[in-house]
Amino acid sequence: MPDFRDKTPDHRYKVLVVDDSALMRRILTEIINQAPDLEVVDTAVDPYQAREKIKQCNPDVLTLDVEMPRMDGITFLRNLMRLRPMPVVMISSLTDQGAQVTLDALETGAIDFITKPRLDLKEGIEEKAAVIIEKIRMAATVSKDKLLRKQQQLQKLQQREKRQDTFAQPTFATTDKLIAIGASTGGLDAIRDVLIGLPTSVPGVVVAQHIPGAFSRSFAERLDRMLPLKVEEAYEGAPITTGRVYIARGDRHLEVVRSGAKYVCQLNDGPLVNRHKPSVGVLFDSVAKAAGKNALGVMLTGMGKDGAEAMLRLKETGASTIAQDEASCVVWGMPGAAVKLGAVGQVLPLNGISDEIIRWAR
């Protein structure tokens, strides 16, 4: 297990681990306590015990298992966000059912999730130690105001879904223009909020979101049910047309290439880039080559720097570029890195990005 104890922290965030598995509680506690700025103050075996431990310990962040006895994690999360909003990182299984429930959790208010390995739980989780530390540390810094805004966006979404039958159907016409979106932590909500404001006449959209392979199809299907746009998981040779959105597979890089007068999707099973596959950088570089000045690059909330340098190269071809502003991001890592490099033409709040995309498309 990596040793994270290389500095003296100015502040230690208090973590409550909630999981019905004694092994999982022990492993997570060992990993989290390795970080100099994190401390597991207690553990709980189910939501009822967690409720009492929250009152006693006043933690800064929770790790929460999805499947637990007496009350499932989603029900507890929903109650928690209504009564005492706080940052939560979900612990989820890499299954189709696990993907659906995790997406529910993220919509309900969870900041991020950690996936349990299918085999050899102890070794598999310990291999993810650095990622677990990074995600919990990031979640602990999310303000209550951002959690409340997340809840407000969910309420607006639920109201909009009731009017879904009024949407026009997309026409799937060929277009010279292309929109590329990159995101990571907090991106599932942000992507949804941007796409929901777009008309069916919008140019084709390609999306690279850092997400496990088991989750990308569920995410695309959920968006497809929710939006007037046609949303699919990207596949080899998929035609990029108006009114259509392609989500990168969670285990492949997504690239855009020219095929005659059309743009099509190309999948790439190469190595990780910037620690990720799919990588936003790989997508943006391919869009720069295929579409150049006819493209719009959008960088949404995310941890790290993936895509920042590629966004600068995209801008240098004459493409337009937008970054989500710090106030509306869950974490301003990727957009902030792009801004610092001078890769961004406009910095906008999340609720202003859809309108700007429409203005650009026209």
Q: Residue 91, exposed/middle/buried by CB under 10 A (0-12, 13-18, 19+)? A: buried
Distances (CA, A) of 4 to 14, 35, 57, 133: 16, 5, 24, 9
Considering 93, 184, 286, 328, which one is annotated as catalytic? 184
pLDDT of 163 reads 45
**HSE of 18, CA atoms in CB hemisphere, 13 A:** 29
- Say whether 165-361 and 13-142 share the same fold: yes
Q: Give the span between the Cα atoms of 74 and 61, in whole angstroms.
A: 16
Q: Using an 8 Å Cβ cutoff, are 322 and 345 in contact?
A: yes
Taking the C-alpha atoms of 335, 337, 343 and 345 in order, what is their torsion angle to the nearest 10 degrees? Answer: 40
- Superfamily of chain region 165-361: Methylesterase CheB, C-terminal domain (3.40.50.180)
Considering 60, 93, 193, 210, which one is annotated as catalytic? 210
Bridge partners of residue 320, in order along the sequence = 296
Confidence of residue 7 (pLDDT cuts 50, 70, 90): very low
Cα angle 175, 269, 232 (rounded to 5 degrees) comes to: 40
Q: Give the span between the Cα atoms of 1 and 10, in whole angstroms.
A: 24
Where do the structural domains in the chain lie, given as residue ranges? 13-142, 165-361
Average confidence (pLDDT) over 148-154? 77
Task: Look up 253 and say whether it is catalytic.
Answer: no
3-state class percentages of the chain: helix first, strand second, coil last, to nearest 5: 45, 25, 35
Task: Look up 184 and say whether it is catalytic.
Answer: yes
Per residue in 169-223, pLDDT tens? 677 788 899 999 999 999 999 999 999 999 999 999 999 999 998 899 999 999 9
Average confidence (pLDDT) over 306-332? 97
Considering 306, 320, 328, 354, which one is annotated as catalytic? 306
Per residue in 72-113, pLDDT tens? 889 999 999 999 999 999 988 777 777 888 899 998 899 999
Topology of domain 13-142, CATH: Rossmann fold (3.40.50)
Residues 6 or more apart in contact with residue 262 via CB below 8 angstroms: 174, 239, 240, 241
Q: Is the dihedral of CA 140, 143, 147, 150 positive or negative?
A: negative
pLDDT of 153 reads 74
Task: Look up 11 and say whether it is catalytic.
Answer: no
Q: Give the span between the Cα atoms of 240 and 276, in whole angstroms.
A: 23
Listed residue (344, 326, 334, 357) closest to 194, CA to CA: 357
Q: Using an 8 Å Cβ cutoff, are 298 and 181 in contact?
A: yes
Q: Give the span between the Cα atoms of 37 and 191, in whole angstroms.
A: 31
Per residue in 10-33, pLDDT tens? 679 999 999 999 999 999 999 999
Q: Give pairs for 151-156: CB < 8 Å, separation 24+.
A: 151/81, 151/85, 151/109, 153/189, 153/193, 154/107, 154/108, 154/109
